[in-house]
């Protein structure tokens, strides 16, 4: 899993390490495949991703090119459904029931369940081996704080992976005030300090 919404709240420095090490045959779970020349989109452009589970790919022509060439498998998921599948994974649930996608290509191959006369799709929970996420600030205990919309998928992904690596703009030696903590350190395994917070790449 990689957090962020396009460039907003994306762990760009950690992604650069993946590129440098040519870590490949990855399955990407993210909101999007971004742009071909930035953050997680660069992983697509470098051919390091085998499968992408995302809500949209329209900003990255390389994703569509690889998908049509058969070198990249893409599973498109409605955005709210993706968020809820990740949340379910973090909560230890088997999945969610949603009417979103009924009567469309989204329902292909999925189980339908009737509850009180209404039909739902069973969307299975999503979990990951590793989540690469971002936070504006962290303390040495791993507690995370966010500015504005950088929370996006980062907060829910923090709960749904076996190993959570967080890239932060600022690291505090003193504990964050309780009211500032959005993700508790319980979920965090590693902190990576971005060398230059002003440089998104």
Tokens of 124: 């299975």
In a shared domain, residues 102 and 181: no
In a shared domain, residues 56 and 19: yes
| DSSP 8-state symbol, 1 | -
Q: Give residue 1's pLDDT.
A: 98
Between CA 179 and CA 158 the distance in angstroms is 18
Q: Give residue 13's pLDDT.
A: 95
- 165 in a structural domain: yes
What does the chain come to in residues?
201
Q: Give residue 196's pLDDT.
A: 63
Q: Could you give the percent of the chain with pLDDT greater than 70?
A: 97
- 151 in a structural domain: yes
Number of domains in the chain: 2
Is residue 201 predicted with pLDDT exceeding 70? no
- 201 in a structural domain: no
Between CA 42 and CA 33 the distance in angstroms is 9
In a shared domain, residues 38 and 86: no
In a shared domain, residues 96 and 171: no
Average pLDDT over residues 92-115: 96
Average pLDDT over residues 146-156: 97
In a shared domain, residues 71 and 20: yes
Each residue of 40-58: pLDDT tens digit?
Answer: 999 999 999 999 999 999 9
- Answer positive or negative: Cα dihedral of 57, 60, 63, 65: positive
Is residue 143 predicted with pLDDT exceeding 90? yes
Is residue 88 predicted with pLDDT exceeding 80? yes
Long-range contacts, stretch 96-105, CB < 8 angstroms, 24+ apart: 96/122, 96/123, 96/125, 97/121, 97/122, 97/123, 98/123
Between CA 21 and CA 170 the distance in angstroms is 25
In a shared domain, residues 67 and 144: yes
In a shared domain, residues 72 and 131: yes
Q: What is the DSSP string of 57-110?
A: -TT-HHHHHHHHHTSSEEEE--HHHHHHHHHHHHHT-SEEEE-TTTTSGGGTT-
User: What is the pLDDT confidence band of residue 200, given thresholds at 50, 70 and 90?
Assistant: very low
- 5 in a structural domain: no
- Among candidates 62, 54, 68, which has minimal Cα distance to 38? 62
Q: Give residue 195's pLDDT.
A: 75
In a shared domain, residues 66 and 137: yes
- 157: domain range? 12-76+127-193
- Answer positive or negative: Cα dihedral of 37, 149, 10, 71: negative
Each residue of 1-15: pLDDT tens digit?
Answer: 999 999 999 999 999
In a shared domain, residues 64 and 135: yes
- 37 in a structural domain: yes
In a shared domain, residues 152 and 69: yes
In a shared domain, residues 138 and 57: yes
């Amino acid at each position: 899993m990689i957090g962020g919404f396009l460039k907003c709240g994306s762990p760009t420095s950690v992604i650069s390490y993946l590129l440098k090490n040519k870590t490949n045959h990855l399955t990407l779970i993210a909101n999007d495949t971004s742009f071909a020349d930035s953050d997680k989109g660069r992983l697509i452009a470098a051919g390091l991703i085998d499968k992408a589970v995302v809500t949209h790919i329209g900003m990255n022509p390389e994703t569509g090119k690889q998908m049509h060439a058969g070198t990249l498998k893409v599973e498109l998921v409605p955005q709210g459904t993706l968020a809820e599948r990740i949340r379910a994974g973090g909560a230890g649930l088997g999945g969610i029931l949603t009417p979103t996608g009924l009567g469309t290509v989204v329902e292909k191959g999925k189980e339908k369940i009737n509850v009180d006369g209404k039909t739902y799709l069973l969307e299975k929970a999503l979990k990951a081996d590793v989540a690469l996420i971002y936070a504006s600030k962290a303390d040495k205990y791993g507690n995370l704080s966010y500015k504005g919309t950088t929370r996006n998928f980062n907060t829910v992904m923090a709960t749904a992976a076996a190993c959570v690596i967080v890239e932060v703009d600022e690291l505090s030696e003193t504990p964050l005030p309780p009211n500032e903590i959005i993700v508790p350190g319980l979920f965090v395994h590693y902190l990576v300090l971005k060398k230059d917070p002003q440089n998104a790449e």
